[in-house]
Structure 1
Amino acid sequence: MLKTIFNIYAFALFANFAYSRCGWNTIDGNPPSLVGHKGEKAFMPEHTLGSYHMAALEAVDYIETDISISKDGVLVIVHNGWLGQTTNVAELPQFADRKKQYIFNGKYAKINRTEWFVWDFTYAELKTINRIQDTDYAYRPQYFNNDFYILTFDEYLDHIENLSKNLDRQLGVALELKFSEVFNSLFPSDNGRGYEDKVLEVLSKRNYNINQPPPSNPVINNGDLLDHILNIKPSNYTKSSYKPVSFLSFDHETCEYLGKKTKIPVISLNLNSPWMYTPKGLDKIASYSKILSPEKNILLAGPELYFEFNEISYNKTEIESMGGFLEPKELIRESHKRGIELSPFTLYDSRQPSGLLCTRFNDTRFKYCPKNRKEEMFYYFELGCSYITVENIFEAQILRLAFDSKIASKDC
C-alpha cells in the first residue's frame, strides 16, 4: 500500500514538470483548496495544538475548527458542544455529576442526548480536561492521548498565526459556528445574536475583517500546485494584505446574519434543506453566501435520491415551483453562474468506510459509486468543487497532485 502511494506521488511530481496544463473545472480554474477537518484528526486528537500543527506541516490550505462557549462565556474549541467522545472527562470523578440529559429542539439545532456539555463547565474547569483520540477508530494513534488540553478561540488563532509566520505559509482559518440557537438561548443578548457578535468581535480585534473578501487568485501555471505544497514562492510573490478566513454554519439565519454584518466569506453548510438545490434556492443562497457546502452524497447521488434514502420529506410542488432539483453537474453549473463555489464534506481517511450512500444501498439509480478514496476524490475534482473538507491530509495531497497530473497529460 505504502509503495503504491509513493508511486502515485512520484508520478505526480514528474508529470507536473513534464506536461502543460489544461485546467481545473473550478470556478476560477485553480486546484481546489483542501480544508483540514478539525486539523489532522486522522493521526492526532481533534482540535488540538498537535492536530493543527500536523495539518500545517501537511500543507493544508484551511484548518477548520468549531467554536463553543463555556459556562463563564469564554469562546472555546469544542465540536458539537459535548465532551465524552474526545476528552478524558469520563475518567474524572470530580465531574461525574455534570453528565446529564440535554434536550433542545430548535429550527436548526436538535439535541437529545446524555453527555457532559461544554456550557456546564467554566473555562478553568475545561482546562483540567485533556483531549483524547476518538476511541471509535482503533487504527488512529492513541499515544497522543492526554497530551493536549481544550483550547480557547484566541489560542486557536494564536497557534494558526504563529504557524503561518514560522512556516512562512499562508494558512486559512475556517470557523464553524456550531449550534447558534443553543448558545444564543444560553447566553441571551439584545439582538439575539450574541454568539455571532462575540466571534465577530474577536476577529475584528485581530484584523481579520481587513481587505475582505480577498481578491481572486490568478489561474496558476504549470507546476504551481507542487510549488504551493512545497512552499516555493513565485518570483512575483507579494505578501497578502488579508488573512484567509471563512465562516461555516448549518444555521441559515446565522449565515444570513453574518452575510450582512461582515464581508468575510460565509459557507452555507447543509444536510437536510431540499430547497437549496433548486435554481431559486441558489438565488437566495447567493444573496448572503458565495460558498455552498453540501453533504458529499448530495453531489454524488443527487438531491432527490439523497433526501429519499435519508428519509427527509419535502413539498414536491414547492420544489417544482423553485425550478426543480438540480442534478450534480447542473448544480455546479448553475452555482458557478451565480458566483457560488461548492465545498463538499467530509472525505474521510481511506482506512474507514467512505459513508457514501451507494456503498450502503444497492440501487440501480445510483449512476456512479466510487470504490475507493482515489475514485471518490477524483469524482469531486472532476465535478469542479472549489474546496473539499478532508481527513488524512497526506492522502488528499497525493491525490490532488495525481489529478493535477492527469489534467496536465490531456491533449489540449
Structure 2
Amino acid sequence: MGRIRRSIAAGVAISAVATVAVAGRFGVAEADGRDGARPLVIAHRGASAHRPEHTLSGYRLAIETGADYIEPDLVQTKDGVLVDRHENALSQTTDVASHPEFAARKTTKSIDGVPVTDWFSEDFTFAELRTLRAIERIPGIRPDNQAFDGQDVIPSLEEVIDLAQEHGVGVYPETKHPTYFASIGLPFDEPLLKTLAAKGLDRRGSKVFVQSFEPGILERLRKRTKAHLVLLVNGSGRPYDFTASGDPRTYADLVAKKGLEWVATFADGIGPSTSWIIPVDASGKTLPATTLVKDAHRANLTVHPWTFRPENTFLPVNYRLGDPASPVYARAQGDAAGWLRALLATGIDGIFSDDPALAVAVRSTL
C-alpha cells in the first residue's frame, strides 16, 4: 500500500490543534474500528468543510490530514456507472443549471416518496456527467469553498477507490436510494459487487465498509460478499424500503436491543445519527448519553455516528460559541473539539467528519 505524508494544510491545522487539550491514548487502528483500536476518522464526503464535497481534491485533502477512510455517496448514470454525488439530483452539487444543452432534462420525479424537481444522474451518461463541474453545496456556511467551484469533475467509484488504495486508506461507500434505483432498472448490487471484487475489496478484513439507510440491500449483499456492511440510522422515520414493502418498523425499533440483534444478522455495524447516542432537548442542549453504544457492542456491532462538523449550525446549543445576534453566528466555529470528546467518551468506534483534520487532532490527544 502507498504511503502519504500526514502533514496538515496550514489553515486547517491551526483551527484543529488550537481547540484540543485532553490526555490518554488509543491503540493502532484496525480495519473494523473495534477491539481496542483507536476510533476511525471517516472523511465524510471528503474534507467537505474545506472543499466542495465528493471531489478528488477534497478526498486528497482528507487523506493528507490523516483520515483513515474516505466516504463516497453513490448514485448511478443512465449507462450504469457508479458515480460519487450526495444525491441523484444534481443542481446543488454541480453546475448543471448553467449548461443550456441540458436545460430540457430538468424534470420532476418522486424520490423515496418525495417530489423533487431537478436534473438527475440517471438521465445522463457518464460521459455527459463528466462535462459538469462540482460546486459547494452549502455556500452560506462555507462561502470560502466557492473559490473551488468548477475545478473538479464528478468522480466514479473506481476513481475514488484508486485514490484510496494509492495512499493506503480505506473507502466507505454509501448506496443512495437503492429501492428507487432498483425500480428504474438500475440496482446497485451487481455493479457494486463487481467493482469491489475488481479492486480486491470483497474479502473479510478489506479496508471497505458498504453502508446504506436501507436494510434490504445490505441483506442481499451479505449473501454475496464478506466486506464490512453498515446500516445507517436516521434520527427519525423508517427505512424507505420498509415503507415500500409495508414493514411497520422504524429506525427507533432498529436501535432497540431486539432490533440490533436483527441488524447483526446481516451487518457488521451501525452508523447512527449522533442524536441516538447523545440526544438533545427541545432547546437543542445535550442530554445524558443513551446506552446505544453499549447495546450495539453487545450485539457485536461497530458504531460510527454521523456527522461531526465544526460550525455552530451543526453543534448542540451548549457547544456553540459567539453572539447569536451576529450575522456570521451560524457559520462561526463552536466548541467542536469538546463535542467530539463527549461523543468519543461514549465508546464509539469511529466518526464521520466533514473536518477530518480537526477530528484527527482531537483523537491524537486521547
TM over 0.5: yes
AA aligned to 1:292 is I
More helix by share: 1
The corresponding residue for 1:344 is 305
Q: Report deviation, 1:355.
A: 5.0
The corresponding residue for 1:186 is 184
Equivalent of 1:199 in 192, 217, 231? 192
Query: Matched residues in 2 for 1:270 and 1:21: separation?
Result: 26
Equivalent of 1:127 in 127, 130, 136? 130
- Distance change (3 Å), C-alpha of 1:180 and 1:79: same
User: What is the correspondence of 1:2-401 to structure 2 with a 5 Å cutoff?
Assistant: 6-7=17-18, 27-104=34-111, 109-134=112-137, 135-162=139-166, 164=167, 170-187=168-185, 194-210=187-203, 212=204, 214=205, 243-271=206-234, 272=237, 273-301=251-279, 328-348=289-309, 350-354=310-314, 356=316, 372-401=335-364
Gaps of 5+ in 1: 165-169, 189-193, 215-242, 310-326, 361-370, 405-412
Contact 1:34 1:390 in 2 (8 A): yes
Query: Matched residues in 2 for 1:7 and 1:247: separation?
Result: 34
AA aligned to 1:185 is S
Query: Matched residues in 2 for 1:33 and 1:6: separation?
Result: 18
Query: Matched residues in 2 for 1:3 and 1:171: separation?
Result: 24
Query: Matched residues in 2 for 1:204 and 1:4: separation?
Result: 39
Aligned partner of residue 102 in structure 1, secondary structure: strand
AA aligned to 2:308 is L
Query: Matched residues in 2 for 1:357 and 1:181: separation?
Result: 36
Aligned length: 319
Aligned partner of residue 104 in structure 2, secondary structure: helix
Aligned partner of residue 150 in structure 2, secondary structure: coil
Per-residue CA shift, 1:359-407, capped at 9, x if unaligned? 89xxxxxxxxxx72122101111000001000111111111123x1xxx
- Distance change (3 Å), C-alpha of 1:256 and 1:140: farther
Per-residue CA shift, 1:108-150, capped at 9, x if unaligned? x343211111111111111111111223334332221111111
Query: Matched residues in 2 for 1:121 and 1:184: separation?
Result: 17
TM-score by length of 1: 0.71
Identity of aligned residues (%): 26
- Distance change (3 Å), C-alpha of 1:147 and 1:334: same
Query: Matched residues in 2 for 1:143 and 1:22: separation?
Result: 38
Query: Matched residues in 2 for 1:101 and 1:187: separation?
Result: 18
AA aligned to 1:338 is A
Contact 1:301 1:358 in 2 (8 A): no
TM-score by length of 2: 0.80
Query: Matched residues in 1 for 2:37 and 2:318: separation?
Result: 29
Of structures 1 and 2, the larger Rg is shown by 1
Contact 2:315 2:336 in 1 (8 A): no
Contact 2:319 2:338 in 1 (8 A): no
Query: Matched residues in 1 for 2:260 and 2:117: separation?
Result: 37
Superposition RMSD in Å: 2.8
Query: Matched residues in 2 for 1:21 and 1:56: separation?
Result: 20
Query: Matched residues in 1 for 2:77 and 2:157: separation?
Result: 11
